[in-house]
A and B are shown apart, each in its own frame.
Chain A
Amino acid sequence: QKEVEQNSGPLSVPEGAIASLNCTYSDRGSQSFFWYRQYSGKSPELIMSIYSNGDKEDGRFTAQLNKASQYVSLLIRDSQPSDSATYLCAVTTSLQGAQKLVFGQGTRLTINP
């Protein structure tokens, strides 16, 4: 089982709709969770950090964390064509000894005008 798993997509969403991106992780002891957005040819850009169970909202973005079920999700409301990018989930894990940040493979999101 991969440490951090995401559906690679592509995920296609109409403009104005809600885009829902999901991520599961294997280390039950993980404490820090991050979502990054990466445009083609660019470096990853931090969108959200979440550390506690529940929802965290920032503008059109909402991160949701459920440690019992070991998943973290990102909702994008009122999706815009400029949201078209690859979204990376990253989780701090202590598997294999040293604590490290593990990235999922990313979900490619396309917003259709």
Chain B
Amino acid sequence: DVKVTQSSRYLVKRTGEKVFLECVQDMDHENMFWYRQDPGLGLRLIYFSYDVKMKEKGDIPEGYSVSREKKERFSLILESASTNQTSMYLCASRRDLGSPLHFGNGTRLTVT
């Protein structure tokens, strides 16, 4: 089974802090993704990566950046956290373009 591990289940940060969300997958998948999920807005794609050191903007990249230094690890960075970034963050990976996404357990981030 594919395992996607997110480093924190719950996180509370203050406005203006730099926040790192870590994600690791163990299936040698090329593709990795970061989504956020909010009530009534569904899943929204923040950033994705098709290869090491490669990144592409998703639908809502503003206020976020990513890092993929190793194939198995994809990090989401909130440069200066704001209250409107309070959300559930979901990391996912997949083998190739036609394959399903496998999600991590999610990180519920609260910015106060």
A92 in complex: contacting residue of B43, B45, B98, CB < 8 Å: B98
Flag if B90 contacts A43 (CB, 8 Å).
Answer: yes
A43 in complex: contacting residue of B42, B97, B99, B105, CB < 8 Å: B105
Contact residues in B for A92 (Cβ distance below 8 Å): 97-98
Contact residues in A for B90 (Cβ distance below 8 Å): 43-44
Residue of A nearest to B99 (CB): A32
Q: Say how far A86's CB is from chain B's closest CB, in angstroms.
A: 10
Flag if B102 contacts A46 (CB, 8 Å).
Answer: yes
Flag if A104 contacts B97 (CB, 8 Å).
Answer: no
- A105 contacts B by Cβ under 8 Å: yes
Flag if A49 contacts B43 (CB, 8 Å).
Answer: no
Listed stretches A13-21, A75-83, A95-103; interface member: A95-103
Q: Say how far A14's CB is from chain B's closest CB, in angstroms.
A: 27
The A59-108 residues at the B interface (CB cut-off 8 A) are 88, 90, 92, 98-101, 103-106
- B34 contacts A by Cβ under 8 Å: no
Q: Say how far A13's CB is from chain B's closest CB, in angstroms.
A: 22
User: How many A-B contacts if CB must be within 8 Å?
Assistant: 40
Contact residues in A for B47 (Cβ distance below 8 Å): none
Docked CA distance A61–B62 (Å): 39
Flag if B103 contacts A43 (CB, 8 Å).
Answer: yes
Docked CA distance A90–B100 (Å): 9
Contact residues in B for A12 (Cβ distance below 8 Å): none
User: Interface of B with A (CB < 8 Å)?
Assistant: 42-43, 45, 56, 90, 94, 97-106, 108
8 A-B residue contacts at CB 8 Å? Answer: A32-B98, A32-B99, A44-B43, A45-B103, A51-B98, A98-B56, A101-B94, A101-B101
Not counting A43-B105, A44-B90, A46-B100, a sample of 17 additional A-B residue pairs whose C-beta atoms are within 8 angstroms of each other reads: A31-B98, A32-B98, A32-B99, A34-B100, A34-B101, A44-B43, A46-B101, A51-B98, A92-B97, A98-B56, A99-B97, A100-B45, A101-B94, A103-B42, A103-B43, A104-B42, A106-B42
